[in-house]
A and B are shown apart, each in its own frame.
Chain A
Amino acid sequence: MVPDAVFPEPLHASRDGSAPVGARAVRECCRLLQTRAGELRRIPAGARVEKLGRFTRRWLDHDYPHRRLATRRIVSATGFSTQVVEEGLDALFRAWSAEAMTALLETEFAGALCTDHAADSNPPEVMVPRLEGGARIVPSRRNRGLTAIPPRLVGHILAGNVHPPALQSLLAALLVGSPSFLKAPSAEPWFATSLVRSLREEVPDLGRFVAVATWPGEQTSCNEVLLHEADIVVAFGSDSTVQEIRRMLPARTRLVVRSHRVSVGYVAREVMTRGQVPEVARAFASDVALFDQQGCLSPHAILVETGGDLEPVEFARELAGRALPGIARVLPPRQLGLAEGADLLQFKGVQSLSGTVLPSAGGAVVVTHAERISAPGPGRTLFVRPVATLEEALAYLGPILDNLQGVAVAAGERRWGEVARCFALSGATRICAPGTLQSPPACWPGDGLRPLGALVRWVSLEPRDSPPGEPSSKR
């Protein structure tokens, strides 16, 4: 079954979910949203934040009907346990509080976002031609005239069955003041649909700037329309998915790519003590448990330094023997089907020829000395790789450095900066503490891109009377 398309009225498209959404309906919907862009910009950023904050707070209530329905459907579509989905939703909506969104706007724009609303900005220094809707662009003093212009329509092509990206992408677009069309993933279309429905109900004056629909991947006509109508396309998915989108995209349309990525952990020798290892292992276990190793922030390998009080294999034993079974009682693992069960058996068998396989709840911990990281197994499976130096760690991670997302670092105060810098320079987009991998803050630049900054166009608004060669002399 496919959820109804949720289009801004007065469009009507297969409300009963029986007929697939057609290219014409998608085009009409996109155009309607574009005409509303000015209207959205006229809502002050502060008001948008307040409304969206109300919306995300609502979703923190486990009994909120939209959340209950979404949880049930995500569980059924993905096989994640209910507890995992609930925990994931809590972390997600907590991170996007009104306070976090205010801070995010301030961090990224420092008042330089064009909102067409005088209340949002400092007194204008520059008068510029009026934009649609009759309001003015008001550049901020603090940004030396640099002003961010939101696109008229953001097309989000969502993928996969891990749900945070849908919310992050939608909220980012609304925060900058852009209407959004979400193409929900066919594997799990329910979360995006529930989000939009609930937005309509909770904050109808923002809900009218958002549409969601899903269609089968082979229905390329709808994709083509969306790619042609949107000013910016945010595309999630594998390299091949993104390549296909790139192929269809008009040359001048900006593409924000959110590709498949992988995360790791790093444990420095100074924390390899009998006192600290259980705590570190517990923290990593929760990173593994949330989304059952299917998220881009899921740690597929933990690099553990040798030379501490305990050996890396003892860390692995703690992880496999206590931490993962412990977290499995709170956040039960996905049930693996026959095919995944077969893959896990094969994976463990092959790994046992060269490493130490420690079976664990819903997967296994493999202590490996392989030169390069290899493909992970299904379920809660990860590698523990003893390393003597950071260089050795980077060499091991070589095949995935281009796709590195988060690195959870457990290190003493003195070493932390060194380890963090090393991974930051090597491709990571997030350095954090173990146990927090799956709850990134709203300001996290996933895939190395600013959540809001990646969406806007920048314009330099210079004083009308600045003399040649001194464009900023008055500031």
Chain B
Amino acid sequence: MSDIRFAAIRTGQAISRARIPQVPFDEFRQTVVAAAAEGRRVAALFGDASGPPGQVDLYAVLADGVRSLLHVGQTPIEVGEFAALTPDCPQVHLFEREIAEQFGIVPAGHPWLKPVRFHASYRPGCDAWNRSGAGPVVGVLDFYRVAGDQVHEVAVGPVHAGVIEPGHFRFQCHGERVFHLEISLGYQHRGVSRALVGGPKKRTVHLLEETAGDASIGHATAYCQIVEALAGTQVPIRGEVVRGVALELERLANHTVDLGALAGDVGFLPTAAFCGRIRGDFLNLTALICGSRFGRGLVRPGGAAFDIDETRRVQCLERLDAAVHDVESAVSLLWNAASVQARFEGTGAVSIETARALGLVGPAARACGLEHDARQDFPSGIFRFVQVPVSVSLSGDVLARAYIRWLEIQRSAAFIREQLHSLPAGPVRREVAPLGSGQIAIALVEGWRGEICHVALTDAYGCFSNYRIVDPSFHNWAGLALALRDQQISDFPLCNKSFNLSYCGHDL
């Protein structure tokens, strides 16, 4: 990577778009493929049609976690197709499908080129599948099929049995055994990316909070870091602490309920019942700080909209200790129950090679032994000063994904305690200057599901000409599909819950 021509920037930094080198497509492709082969990740790969008519520029953001650097490069595509990167770099498979769907250009040679969200092309008249007439119909496509007399197909969704978001799952089974699972989403598509163009507007920050409702803090933080980078605003340290505490409370709430749900999926009811309640205790801690259980309205450009005053700080600490004590008693039952261990262990295993090839992020990647954690690799906010140890496991199965959650619960609790004990003085928020024009900014935040990546391009007026959101689920859904290979179909709920990915974060 030493001779790489891409521009190197850090998370939460903005540079002039003119500084992003425009390279010929072959070099662009080669750089991305080589970087992935050397163990870097493709954090984002997207198209941009704000240039000359008929031209789509491809941007790639390569994440080098060892040096905390993001390498950005760009290449113009002037014809209707380009040579797909996916055959040589599987982790971009969904990015390329997204580019094809949004801009109607074809990644030629893509092994599984299908729509992602089932919407019309952003460029009328340019459709990657040459569809015409009425708009695309969600879920109508050919699924991967395994042929044979004894093979049967199981279709699940979009409406599921539980109180969860919609998506379609298509299993190719031989008896109970799953040969292949194909996941077809897009049902939740609400037009988030399109609505962000031209911002920031009065709706923008709220849209980000609703991008993935259970990760409001994570997405709002990434958005605010983008705005602050573009405006050159520095957040007061107390504001950074409040944001960091909120981010870890979000992690605590979600990890706790997932452990409870995993227990429920194997019929271990004590932990299921306890954790469902304790999640509420963590949500209520967030509500104690800002009034909303999901942290809506807390993270705002320039810092935090609510302060943690002294009484609140003391109350927070007391209630945190009680909730952590409860979660400890609830979760330790899991590790001591042979019936639970027998169901978790070896189920839905993903190898480290697969995880790396797919570019998995978050707990799902760490469960396979990949030490990716944006809080360590690309520290921003308070995490520049305080290191949270990275939790890693090796077996890549449901047990590992569950155990990672437990390790992270303990470490997030310790972090919050430490921060609240030494809350720095000063304001929590600062005025934000107007946004710089003709810039690119990137923010990486370790949400509870993994790396949340936002990339913004601004126009000559300092408005977003393009705003990309890469939810961790976008990388990880393929991980779930591969985790199901050779598993029993009855283990699907367990595997699914161990990933617990966002549908709307993927569908945007």
Does chain A bind chain B? Answer: no
Chain B residues in the interface with A (C-beta under 8 A): none
Chain A residues in the interface with B (C-beta under 8 A): none
